[in-house]
């Protein structure tokens, strides 16, 4: 009976230790996976939020903290709109996604407060959108654009367009993000296996008590 009791106690300790190892390793995997599931956030913008613009930039852009997910270089799911003080739109409807940056060309109208409305696809596949204001103080001699009552669409001619020809797309999309996620998952699996094996070896090497009193 004492031998059977000792065997049951050892089995109980082994099961409890294994469960603890799995819990610890699982927490480690979740900790490793966290960076891969975080949404992108804006680190810089042209023009900057609440700034005053006195000359027309070559491109309007926002840059995030991580790659943007542009599957197949299609710019699908991305948008960049510039709304003037009269409610009209001044962007050309085309966006260029490259690495962590999305940009577009625009011709502004009269001086006043403008609003940038943007949408991106994060590296984790989630859509992120927001808006901010800036002030346009046109220089002397500037010829204002008339704008559009509706958000313009990027001009297309079959599978290509003159606007798209000036863009470079991105190599930061699906393959890079998927590879990064696979690395995190692989590392997490190794942590789980190593932790469980180590605990099992330690428990198996632990000598059984000589008696119930011990």
What pLDDT does residue 6 have?
59
Q: Which of 171, 173, 191, 193 is nearest to 183 (CA)?
A: 191
Strands (E), the chain: 42-46, 52-53, 60-64, 79-83, 96-98, 101-104, 112-121, 127-136
- Is it the case that residue 144 has pLDDT exceeding 60? yes
Q: In this structure, are 91 and 79 located in the same domain?
A: yes
When pLDDT is cut at 50, 70 and 90, the band that residue 11 belongs to is: low
Q: In this structure, are 74 and 111 located in the same domain?
A: yes
- Is it the case that residue 201 has pLDDT exceeding 70? no
Compute the CA torsion angle 17, 18, 20, 26 (nearest 10 deg): 160
Q: In this structure, are 73 and 137 located in the same domain?
A: yes
What pLDDT does residue 15 have?
55
In contact, 55 and 95? CB cutoff 8 Å? no
66 falls within a domain: yes
DSSP state of 184: H
Strand order in the sheet with 112-121: 52-53, 127-136, 112-121, 79-83
Q: In this structure, are 117 and 154 located in the same domain?
A: yes
Q: In this structure, are 45 and 78 located in the same domain?
A: yes
What pLDDT does residue 104 have?
97
CATH number at residue 52: 2.60.40.1220
134 falls within a domain: yes
Residue 205 vs residue 99, higher pLDDT? 99
Parent domain of 145 = 39-170
Q: Can you state the angle between helices 2-33 and 174-205, rounded to 10 degrees?
A: 160
146 falls within a domain: yes
pLDDT over 70 percentage in the chain: 55
- Is it the case that residue 196 has pLDDT exceeding 90? no
Q: Determine the average pLDDT of the residues in 139-150.
A: 96
- Is it the case that residue 153 has pLDDT exceeding 50? yes
Tell me the β-bridge partners of 119: 79, 129
Looking at the structure of the chain, the number of domains it has is: 2
Q: In this structure, are 95 and 49 located in the same domain?
A: yes
- The number of C-alpha atoms within 13 Å of 150 and in the hemisphere containing its C-beta is 3
213 falls within a domain: no
Q: In this structure, are 48 and 90 located in the same domain?
A: yes
Cα–Cα distance between 60 and 89 in angstroms, integer? 14
What pLDDT does residue 200 have?
47
23 falls within a domain: yes
Q: Determine the average pLDDT of the residues in 180-207.
A: 44
In contact, 65 and 172? CB cutoff 8 Å? no
pLDDT over 90 percentage in the chain: 51
Q: In this structure, are 116 and 146 located in the same domain?
A: yes
Query: Any idea how long the chain is?
Result: 214
Q: In this structure, are 81 and 140 located in the same domain?
A: yes
- 82-135 tens-digit pLDDT: 999 999 999 999 999 999 999 999 999 999 999 999 999 999 999 999 999 999
Q: In this structure, are 47 and 128 located in the same domain?
A: yes
Q: In this structure, are 85 and 109 located in the same domain?
A: yes
Q: In this structure, are 26 and 45 located in the same domain?
A: no
212 falls within a domain: no
Within 10 angstroms of residue 163's Cβ, the number of other Cβ atoms is 18
């Amino acid at each position: 009976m004492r031998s059977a009791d000792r065997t049951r106690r050892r089995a109980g300790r082994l099961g409890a230790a294994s469960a603890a190892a799995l819990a610890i390793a699982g927490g480690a995997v979740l900790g490793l996976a966290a960076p891969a599931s975080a949404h992108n956030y804006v680190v810089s913008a042209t023009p900057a939020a609440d700034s005053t613009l006195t000359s027309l930039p070559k491109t309007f852009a926002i840059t995030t903290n991580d790659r943007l997910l542009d599957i197949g270089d299609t710019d699908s799911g991305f948008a960049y709109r510039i709304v003037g003080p009269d409610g009209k739109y001044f962007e050309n409807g085309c966006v260029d996604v490259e690495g962590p940056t999305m940009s577009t060309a625009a011709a502004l109208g009269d001086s006043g407060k403008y609003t940038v409305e943007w949408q991106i696809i994060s590296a984790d596949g989630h859509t992120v959108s927001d808006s901010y204001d800036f002030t346009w103080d046109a220089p002397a001699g500037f010829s204002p654009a008339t704008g559009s009552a509706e958000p313009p669409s990027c001009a297309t001619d079959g599978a290509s367009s003159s606007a798209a020809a000036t863009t470079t797309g991105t190599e930061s999309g699906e393959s890079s993000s998927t590879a990064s996620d696979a690395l995190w998952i692989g590392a997490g699996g190794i942590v789980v296996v190593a932790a469980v094996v180590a605990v099992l070896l330690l428990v198996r090497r632990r000598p059984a008590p000589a008696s119930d009193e011990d």
